[in-house]
Structure formats: structure tokens, C-alpha cells
Structure 1
Amino acid sequence: MSGKRVNWMERIAVIGGGLLGGSLALRLAGEKDVRLWARREASVALAQELGVEQASTDLAATLAGVELVVLSVPVGVMPGLVDRMLEAGLPEDCLVTDVGSVKAVVHREVAPRLRERGRVFVGSHPMAGGEKQGMEAARRDLFEGAMCFLTGREGAQTGEGECLETFWRELGCRTEWIDPLAHDRVVARISHLPHVMAAVTARAALANPEDARYGGGGLRDTTRVAGGHPGMWAEILLENREAVGRSLVEARDFLGEILASLESGDHEAVLRWLTEASELHASGRAVIQNECG
């Protein structure tokens, strides 16, 4: 495979008909020979209605002759599903990737299964999504402008890694190679912690849901992602619990600081705490603007 041209991936199987898998299949439909496998007939019917003609519940037919397989299912399901894929005839000369939100467990549980059977695995994590899930929420432009992590670093030195990086860039993603454990630490801070904090704000601010009618943009913006699928997020948080736990301890310490300052009536401390947060926010926005334009 390593000797093939960078744009060789024409036959692609997307395994999973949720938001990411459905959006990926929609984006590729009409440009590539894309097949979508979904567990439920309803998801298959909806995908076909939206324009993904080769949607099916037949795993073997979906995998026949493909050059790239994208696992777009919950991380906990991946090991068993990979075993099924191997039994169903996963082509030997194909590259397998995933779109999971955590990476250490994928490289520990999924990559060896494939490597032992002579297949190549390189991890992916496009930072794209939304509160709504399922094929019904899929959209073609979901990946435009998103950061896509590629794991682990050894893949960056291979032809397969080059092919995969080009694949995501052609979908509009920015890309960066990262170690799986480093990935999990980063996303714990910039994705998983914000979700927990949004949930905390929702629970505290909306303890009486009737109060929502008094809220403005601040309440809406700070609680938006709390509307994400609870089952999916419970799995993500538990799979990355060590890194998320460390980030939550840091957040608890910051909350302790502002609480102590408020209890003592220390205006200067409150101002300093808020100023530091404002400056960090501004610095983060500058980084995004410099990178994304």
C-alpha cells in the first residue's frame, strides 16, 4: 500500500450511520465509491433518501474491495465490530481509521487486532459534531474548517499516513499528528471538560427550568453543549476518565479561588481572577484566528 499514490483512496467504507459517519458519507457521495454500513434499516433508508445510494446493513457487501475503512461507531463497540469485519472479509490491502473521541483505548484495543491480521490502522479524530445525533442530523459541510488529529506519530512517516492526512485535508480539515495519550490529555481540556462545565452550569442555573425564560445569550451559549447525547457523553467521559479527572480537579481549584474571593469580599482578587480568564480567552481566540484566518 505504501507505494500507491496519495489520492489512491477511491473505494471507501464508512462503518456507522451516526452524525459523523452520515456526514462523511454524504460529503463523499458523488465523488467517491462510498458505502455506508448501518446497524438499523431505518438509518439505511434515510441515508439512501439523502443521497448515499450504497447504504446497507450487509457488512460483507459494504467492505468488498474497499481501500479505506472509517470506523464511525462508539469506541466501546469498535473491538467487537473489527472482529466481525475481519470475519466478513475486510480486504488485506486496505487502511483502517476511526473518528473516535478518545485514542489511547483505540490504539490499545483496536489497532493490535488489525495488525495481527496484517491490516494497517491509523487513528483519526475530526473535531466536529453537534448536540444533535444520528443520520437525520448529518450534513455535508460538517468537517469544513475542523481540526483533525491523526494518531500515532509513527503513522506520519508512512505512505498510509500521508494518504489519510490528504484525505482529511481534502474534506476541509486542518490536520496535526499527535501521540494517542497526548491526544487524550488535550481533548480532556478543550472538549471533554467544557462539556462537563456546560452540564454543571445547566444543572445549577436551570435547577428551576422556568428561569430559562429570563436568560439571554450567556445562558444559551454556556449551556449549549449540555444538550449533547447523554449516553454518548457518558461513554466518552468514562473512556477518558483519568485525563478528564485531572482537568476537573484543576477546574475545581479555580472555582475554589473565586468562591473564596467572593466570601471574603476581596474585590482585587475577583477582578484579577476574571482578568486572567479574559486574557486567556483573548489569547485563545487569537490563536484560532491566526490559524484559520
Structure 2
Amino acid sequence: MSRNQFGTVAIVGVGLIGGSIGLALKDAGVVTEVIGVGRSASNLEEAKKLGAIDRIDNLEGACKQAQWIVLCVPVAQMRACFQTIEPHLNPHTLITDAGSTKSDLIVAAKEILGKKVCQFVPAHPIAGGAQHGVVAAKANLFQGKQTIICQLQENSAADVALVESFWQALGSRIKRISAIQHDAIYAAVSHLPHLLSYALMTSVLNSEDAEQKLGHAGAGFRDFTRIAASSPEMWRDICLANKSAILQELDQYLVIAKALRELIAKEDSQALEKVFLKASEARKRWEES
């Protein structure tokens, strides 16, 4: 990577992901300047203090100056961002994002950006943590992690290659898949697990003896519910944005949960063990792959 090759980068939404992008870019020495854009002045000041951004501006001002715009806001806010960006978007500025859903985002981008949509290359870094906010940001968050690129028909090969090099500069490994495939896959392996983690935490909290249960909970409960500490706003938006795929996965999960309930009620130990064994062996193979 050549020094300062990405010029001025505007990060919109400087939380865990946005802050980590800023720290990683500056650590790699591939930017001239990082501009922070966001709703919370105190959060942006904290980001500046931590070195994730160099200065603060509004989105209109950042659009006029930046060679790169990286959208790291909750997915429900992306449409409004496109609306603000469109009148001020320079012809050589590239836009990428860190959104956890893609199909809805691409529809919004095409509707609002029109012919300028060719400058938007959708991405999703598969990295994060249970804690949220810029105070949790880490320069090595993306190191060795996948970033999914869901290129548009309107994107040029050169722009896609540039966006891939941007994420690679953060330490990411690149994988290209379609937006539809992306949303179906991550409904199963990311969105549903978060939903179930929130559900289990809520179930325990709704118990009359919730305090005692939490007081006696061990590593298994801690591991399962770790991601329930994630941003509620972000996961609310993801559930609604990827509704169809999530409902399909949730329905399939509920069928299996109901079948397990019946096996337990019937005390069918052999069938229970068979299900558990199959799942256990598959988990070990996946871990070793």
C-alpha cells in the first residue's frame, strides 16, 4: 500500500466499526485525513481524542472534500445519508459501507443516487464485538476477517478493485457474493443468533426469579448471551431490513425447537442424543476447517 493513497476519507457513524476503520487506516498510513460525521458531538469528540478521526464535519461538508465516504450508520439511516450525499457527490468520490444487510440498501441507493450509483460499492466487514461505541474501537478489528463485497452491475471493475484494496488495507480478506445470497446467509449465521441471544436474555429477565437465575449463571449462559450486549438500534434495523430471510430462518429454528421439546416430553433419550451428536460433530468439523 502506498502512503496516503486513499486521500481524505469521511466516516459517517464513528462507532465500533467506523472508529476501528479510522484507527486502522491511520495505522496503515494510507490516508491524508479522516473526517468524522455523526449525530453525537460528544462521541465525535471522543473519536478525535482516541485518534480515530482527525476532525469533525457535517455530511454535506465531508462530501465536498472526501475522496472516500464510508457509511457505518445503522441500515435504517442509510437512505437519509444517500439523500444528503447525492447533491454534493463529486464524480470521483467512491462510497462504500459496513451495513449488515444489502438488498434493501442497494434498492435505496439506486432510487436516490440514480446514475451516480456506480460510485457506490456495497460491502460488509464480518467483524464486530459485543460492546458498541467508539470507545470499543480497535485498529486490528478487521485483521484476517472477511469483508463481503456485493458489487453492482453499474460498478466498474476498476472501482470494485479500489474498494477491495481499501478493505484489504484494513487487514480484511475479500469475498464477493450477490446481495440476495448475502442476506440469506447472514440471516442464518448472524441475524438469527443475535435474535435468539436477545430472546434468551429477555426470557430470563421476565422470570419471577430473574435475579437468582442471573446470579447463578455460568460460562454457557455468558457465551450465549454475549451478543445481546450489541447495539439495540442496529439490530432492530437489521431485523426489519432483512425481515423475509430472518423469518424464514426463525420458522425453521422454531420447528427444530418444537421437535426437541417433544423428544424431551417423551423422554426419547436415543433421539435426543442423535440430534445432539450430529450437531456436536458438525460444530467440531466447522471449528477445525
What is the TM-score when the length of structure 2 is the normalising length?
0.89
Does 268-277 or 111-120 show the bigger shift? Answer: 111-120
Aligned to 1:102: 101
Q: Give the whole-Å Cα distance in 2 for the aligned partners of 1:279 and 1:246.
A: 25
User: 2-side partners of 1:134 and 1:285: how far apart?
Assistant: 29
Cα distance in 1 for residues equivalent to 2:161 and 2:278? 40
* CA deviation map 1:89-142 (0-9, x unaligned): 221111111111100001101144234247511100001222222222222122
Secondary structure of the structure 2 residue equivalent to 1:64:
helix
Structure 1 gaps of 5+ residues are 288-293
C-alpha separation in 1, matches of 2:265 and 2:170: 51
Q: Report the 3-state secondary structure (helix = DSSP H, G, I; strand = E; otherwise coil) of the residue aligned with 2:288.
A: helix
Contact 2:109 2:117 in 1 (8 A): no
Q: Deviations over 1:17-72 (max 9, x none)?
A: 22211111122236212222122221221122112453213333323342221111
Given that residues 151 and 160 in structure 2 are in contact (C-alpha distance below 8 angstroms), is that contact kept between their aligned partners in structure 1?
no
Aligned to 1:242: 244
What secondary structure is seen at the aligned counterpart in 2 of 1:29? helix
CA contact (8 A) 1:98 1:124 kept: yes
Please state how far the C-alpha of 1:143 moved relative to its aligned partner.
Answer: 1.3
Instruction: Tell me if the contact between 2:117 and 2:154 (Cα under 8 Å) persists in the aligned partners.
Output: no
Structure-2 change in CA distance of 1:151 and 1:41 (3 Å):
same
Mapped to 1, the partners of 2:114 and 2:59 lie a distance apart of 20
Q: 1:119 to 1:223 in 2, by over 3 A?
A: same
Report the AA paired with residue 218 of structure 1: G
Partner of 1:283: 285
Q: Is the 8 A contact 1:92 1:119 kept in 2?
A: no
Q: Name the aligned partner's letter for residue 67 of structure 1.
A: Q
Q: Shift in Å at residue 153 of structure 1?
A: 6.2
Residue 223 (structure 1) aligned with residue 225 (structure 2): yes
Contact 1:38 1:44 in 2 (8 A): yes
> Unmatched 5+ residue regions in structure 2?
none
Q: TM-score, normalised by structure 1?
A: 0.88
Q: Does 1:28 align with 2:25?
A: yes
2:255 counterpart SS class: helix
Match of 1:13 in 2: 10
Contact 2:22/2:53 (8 A) holds in 1: no
Whether the aligned pair in 1 keeps the contact of 2:118 and 2:155 (CA below 8 Å) is no
What SS does the corresponding residue of 1:92 show, helix, strand or coil?
A: coil
Cα 1:211/1:158, change in 2 over 3 Å: same
CA distance in 2, matches of 1:105, 1:37: 23
Q: Structure 1's 121 and 153: CA in aligned 2 closer, same or farther, altered over 3 A?
A: closer
- Secondary structure at the residue paired with 1:131? coil
Residue 213 of structure 1 is matched in structure 2 by 215
Counterparts in 2 of 1:30-45, with a 5 A limit?
Answer: 31=29, 32-33=31-32, 34-45=34-45
One-letter amino acid of the structure 2 residue matched with residue 138 of structure 1: A
CA distance in 2, matches of 1:84, 1:156: 21
- What is the CA–CA distance in structure 1 between the aligned matches of 2:226 and 2:25, rounded to whole Å? 29
Q: Which stretch of structure 1 is more off in the superposition, 184-193 or 158-167?
A: 158-167
Residue 92 of structure 1 pairs with residue 91 of structure 2 = yes
Q: Which residue of 1 aligns with 2:134?
A: 135
Tell me whether 1:54 sits opposite 2:54 in the alignment.
Answer: yes
Match of 1:74 in 2: 74
Instruction: Determine helix, strand or coil for the equivalent of 1:110.
Output: helix
> Corresponding residue for 1:291?
none
CA distance, structure 1, for counterparts of residue 74 and residue 122 of structure 2: 14
In structure 1, C-alpha distance between the alignment counterparts of 2:18 and 2:189, rounded to whole Å:
23
Q: CA RMSD in A?
A: 2.1
Contact 1:153 1:178 survives alignment (8 Å): no
Cα contact 1:145–1:172 (8 A) shared by 2 = yes
Alignment of 1:100-249 (within 5 A): 100-117=99-116, 119-152=118-151, 154=153, 158-206=157-205, 207=207, 208-249=210-251
| Paired letter, 2:196 | M
Aligned residues: 281
Give the AA of the match of 2:226. R
Identity percentage of aligned residues? 28
Mapped to 2, the partners of 1:124 and 1:196 lie a distance apart of 22
In 2, distance between residues paired with 1:49 and 1:199? 32
> What amino acid does structure 2 have at the position aligned with 1:110?
A
SS class of match (2:144): coil
User: Could you tell which deviates more after superposition, 173-182 or 24-33?
Assistant: 24-33
Q: Tell me by how many angstroms 1:8 deviates.
A: 4.6
